A and B are shown apart, each in its own frame.
Chain A
Amino acid sequence: MSEVIHADHHDDHDHGPAKGLKRWLFTTNHKDIGTLYLWFSFAMFLVGGVLALVIRAELFQPGLQFVQPEFFNQMTTNHGLIMVFGAIMPAFVGLANWLIPMQVGAPDMALPRMNNLSFWILPFAFGMMISTLFMEGGGPNFGWTFYAPLSTTYAPPSVTYFIFAVHLMGASSIMGSINIIATILNMRAPGMTLMKMPMFVWTWLITAYLLIAVMPVLAGAVTMMLFDIHFNTSFFNAAGGGDPVMFQHIFWFFGHPEVYIMILPAFGIVSHIIPAFARKRLFGYTSMVYAVASIAFLSFIVWAHHMFTVGMPLAGQLFFMYSTMLIAVPTGVKVFNWISTMWRGSMTFETPMLFAIAFVVLFTMGGFSGLMLAITPVDYQYHDTYFVVAHFHYVLVPGALFSIIAAVYFWFPKWTGKMYDETLGKIHFWLSFVGVNVTFFPQHFSGLAGMPRRIPDYPLQFADFNMISSVGAFIFGLSQVFFLYVIIKSIRSGQPAEGRSWEGAKGLEWTLPSPAPYHSFTHPPVVKDEEVLG
């Protein structure tokens, strides 16, 4: 290898990106990689969305209309897996890539080549996973939680590909998280102490820690599955002294921190947007940091609340019920602080703010249904019903997803140098807001009345709620295609944006011009308290 190493001149750092496909394949730039992550997650979001619409189309009326139960199971399973691992998580990593180096005053991510690797593993992993749908015997059909023995003894042969795809996704997440932690801990501009870090950076620091702690546990779980399937071990088979319930314990030890991985960065985003449009400093910054840390800690000791009906000692049920309820305290602190930030602020309601306020209201509703589910005896009634489906869609769709959309609108001018079209943005918001509630609110009622989840057919008594829900799903799905239109139109013909694109926006990224230069801060900026603390 005889190439010249390009770091010996200052001006080498000022030149722009390479041209063509190579730029995207070989890039080490945090902005390019962030863009790749965001577009990839949007593509996966549309794929997962199509699967969701297959589900809702089938459930529009009782009886079997379009698909067979075997195929329906593959739809629910892959919808969940694609949305969790392909849409929400990569979207947050994309935002982290774009924002963290700019927000801490760094030139790039700490380990730029590994950053590229974390991204490029994903298209291959999801290519593998989606290809299983076309294999003999079909794709994964055991639910996104892949409980043994459905995923071992009774699984289609394609499960082996699924297992390796999960291994690859886990490796990608772990490397991405190591990179984020190294960037935050090592590359902050002088003067940016930990307690002056922007909330998005704080939430991602803690999220990355959660990811490194639990992704390997998921790898362990699928490895034991692999051995049970191919090497005759009996981890999840009682006939050999193992236990299928043990799979659930290991899965949810990963799974519960995982659901906070999908919401903590959302907390960070909302903590930037609300102060900007209320034109006030974030209320209770310190308590926000401690609340996120407490939620992360609690996430490790609540996992068995997903398994109350599967059978466990009474002491276990009590412990997991109370520890789960405890999470409402730090979460309540956060909701209180967001509302207090808005209190007597000079508020305006641009699109990102609308999505952020909808987040606070609807996420809180999802939180309350979560509290209901935490009560063990009551959970016996709710478990595996549409009430659970309504609960986690309320925290994931108007929760995690709305925060991502809000972030896209909020930082869009910084990324592209263009403003989006405010009218179109507001139309997108109201369509999404109506769509999401029409889809998921009725599911509370069908769930409380006893409609089980993951079934392609149901008794006539649930027909009305399901019909409304399906109509809402199609409204919501189409409004996300509209979102794509808004974004592309704004990139092509938006009005030029200023460096500080929003009057009330604070933070180092807003001190840069829009669009941000290819290399953000080659030399660390001066950190002023009024800038970073709002």
Chain B
Amino acid sequence: MASSARVDKSIYFVPESGWYPVFLAFGLMVMVTGLAGWLNDVSAGGSGDSTQSLIGFAIVSLVLYSWFAKVIEENTAGLNNESVQRSYIWGMGWFIFSEVMFFAAFFGALFYVRTFVVPWLGGEGDKGITNYLWPAFEATWPVVQNPDSALFENPGQSMEAPGVTDVSAWGAYLPFYNTVILLSSSVTVHFAHDAIKAENRQKLIGWLGFTVLLGLVFLVLQVAEYIHAYQDLGLTLGSGIYGSTFFILTGFHGFHVTLGTFMLLIQLFRALRGHFSPKDCFGFEASSWYWHFVDVVWVGLFIFVYVL
């Protein structure tokens, strides 16, 4: 490995070549074609075979592991000068912006349905004539009586938040706990960052470990919430537009929390191995920005999916 003393810091580091990208592209193709075949088979009434998609996933994971390991190795060798670091910062920032726009599509769908579609189907507004399709349909939100409940079974109950005065109901309301947990985790990850700046490794490991734990508790509670929805409330993906928007928004958010927790866990392992210094902690910072991002999305979810 090159010693950092011999590295010319004025040169922008361009890796000579790499096998990672083309294998990653190949792995992604194997994974998604496998997934498509699997889904098509199940939808056609078959039993489905997940082997190919799992092989693809394994290839993707292996390549990503090697790729990130290589980048960390290069960074330790001192190849990444300040300019390279700035590229990483821009890169992560714009990646998070793309994630914001991904969620914007689903929030947009929710707002469009609530503002236009459901009232129109119920006979109100400019396109209220739509009501002729299902004259019995009444516009309410959450939609608990679907226009055609033979095609889309009505949900038994929604996940709406209890009223402001109903203190005892809030005590049993999982999303409320999840809000508290996720908001606190944004604070704890910030404390971990402060610990890096103060070069206090024990504090860093402590706060980062606590953040990962909060992430895991959030996920466990969300699984519990989904089980409750499916088994007790009769609220599923198939129960009309309320179930569709509810599960796609909270589901993709949960997926991103899983990803964020995993990223923070990697940073925890790196912290245990002695990585990160006040001036060189991009991996940690990028993960923590991502974590703040999933937190902000949750606030939007809590307000527009649960409370309002």
Contact = CB atoms under 8 A, between A and B. Distances in A.
Contacts of B116: 243
Contacts, number: 259
Contacts of B146: 234, 239-241
B70 A1 contact: yes
A253 to B, nearest CB: 7
Contacts of B143: 241
A117 B21 contact: yes
Contacts of B100: 216
Nearest to A109: B14
B244 A124 contact: no
Contacts of A239: 134, 146-148, 151-152
Contact of A241 (B1, B18, B70, B118): B118
B147 A224 contact: no
Interface string B174-198: 0000000000000000000000000
A113 B15 contact: yes
A519 B39 CA distance: 46
B3 to A, nearest CB: 8
Contacts of A116: 18, 21-22
B113 A241 contact: yes
Contact of A28 (B16, B28, B95): B16
Contacts of B87: 110-111, 182-183, 186-187
A196 interface: no
A173 B106 CA distance: 20
A533 interface: no
Contacts of A174: 95, 98
27 contacts: A1-B69, A5-B2, A7-B13, A8-B2, A13-B11, A22-B17, A124-B25, A164-B32, A168-B28, A214-B101, A216-B101, A217-B105, A230-B42, A231-B237, A233-B237, A233-B247, A234-B238, A235-B245, A238-B117, A238-B121, A240-B151, A240-B241, A241-B118, A242-B117, A249-B108, A311-B127, A313-B125
B127 A161 contact: no
A123 B248 CA distance: 30
Interface string B69-87: 1100110010100010011
B8 A10 contact: yes
Contacts of A428: none
A124 B70 CA distance: 25
Interface residues of B, number: 87
Contacts of B102: 216-217, 219-220
A65 to B, nearest CB: 33
A220 B105 contact: yes
A235 B241 contact: yes
A242 B19 contact: no
A28 B18 contact: yes
A522 B99 contact: no
A373 to B, nearest CB: 23
Nearest to B17: A26
A7, A8, A217 — most chain B CB neighbours (10 Å): A7
Given A7-B11, A120-B25, A212 B94 contact: yes
B36 interface: yes
B19 A107 contact: no
B94 A178 contact: yes
Given A26-B17, A238-B130, A8 B33 contact: no
B20 A235 contact: no
Contacts of A8: 2, 6-8
Contacts of A124: 25-26, 28-29
Interface of A: 1, 4-8, 10, 12-13, 18, 22-23, 25-29, 106-108, 110-114, 116-117, 120-121, 123-125, 127-128, 157, 160-161, 163-164, 167-168, 171, 174, 177-179, 181-183, 185-187, 212-217, 219-221, 223-224, 226-227, 229-235, 237-243, 246, 249-250, 253, 311-314, 519, 522-523
A255 B66 CA distance: 37
B242 interface: yes
B95 A160 contact: no
B238 A181 contact: no
A224 B98 contact: no
Contacts of B95: 174, 178
A107 B13 CA distance: 9
B10 interface: yes
B121 to A, nearest CB: 7
A128 B29 contact: yes
Contacts of B147: 238-241
Contact of B90 (A13, A186, A213, A223): A186
A311 B127 CA distance: 8
B112 interface: yes
Contacts of B133: 238
Contacts of B245: 235
Contacts of A108: 12, 14
A26 B22 contact: yes
Contacts of A313: 125-127
Contacts of A241: 113, 117-118, 121, 143, 146-147, 152, 240-242
